[in-house]
Amino acid sequence: MNEYAYEVVSFKEARRRLRVSQPVFNALLRSRLLGGYFPDGHVLVVGIQHYRFYGTQWMTEDRTDLGDRMLDAEYMETMPVPPDHGEGDQTGVHTKMYIHSDNTPDLNEANATDKGWLAHFYLTPNTFFFPTPTTFGMVGAQLLKLDAPRKVPGAELPTCLYPDPWGSLGLVSVYGLHQPLQDAYEKAYDIVAPILDELSAKYDQPLPIAHNLVVRIPSGLMTTNYAKIPRTKKLLRDEPVLPSCPHPQRRPTVALYREGVSSNNPFHQFLAL
């Protein structure tokens, strides 16, 4: 296979190495959770290696086959409204966005075929998997280190902790095979949150969830939940900048407002706003 710039294996061999069913393999391939692949039926070995160890793909110096796919504010302002978008545009409202990648089917076809999901909760922001402008994370990697994947025994659904390439806890994944698609994010969150709560208390570590991704099986159609994106604004040259709110009685209110809109944690937002 000298025509390839990277070492590759066939889809059949890739699936054998991963030990997954055909529907799961289809979802991993289409969502790019295995990185790059070729339509003639080959996938990059480095992509398989990354998925087995990290549970995802990370943009590291040696991964020139990957590109930044972070969503910017301008795109978010002009993108079509999701088909199941509810009413309301208030601060703190969360929206579900559908993400197509490569040959993923449209929503109607995916609804007719999908029988499960895989949920990702990133603690380290992963710019290859569509973080939004409201994504926040620690400066640098998490301080809770992890040197290899760890399954979570006793979890309601198969759950695994994965390191990021910098040796920290970077991802928690939940497999919802043969699980309802409705409320997949909520179901996975209810499994992941107590695990992170326990780790945070046990090791005295901040463990914020930066962003999330749900991959539907077998379509590979992805969804992500994110807080409302504020409109882009510009501070005009002749616009006065006040040293504080001119009404002293409102200063605690505007302070809480800034705290609320500056957080991507729904609980913090709710309590502040």
Read off the pTM.
0.85
Q: Confidence class of residue 85 from pLDDT cuts 50, 70 and 90?
A: low
Q: Residue 8 is encoded by which pair of tokens?
A: 């590759």
Q: Residue 90 is encoded by which pair of tokens?
A: 């208030």
82 C-beta neighbours (distance < 10 Å), count: 13
Say if CB 34 and CB 26 are below 8 A apart.
no
Say if CB 142 and CB 172 are below 8 A apart.
no
Supply the pLDDT for residue 227: 73
139 C-beta neighbours (distance < 10 Å), count: 4
The pLDDT tens digits for 3-39 are: 555 799 999 999 999 999 999 999 999 999 999 899 8
The pLDDT tens digits for 30-63 are: 999 999 899 899 999 999 999 999 999 999 888 8
106 C-beta neighbours (distance < 10 Å), count: 11
DSSP assignment of 221-254: -EEEEEEPPPPP----TTS---SS-SSGGGHHHH
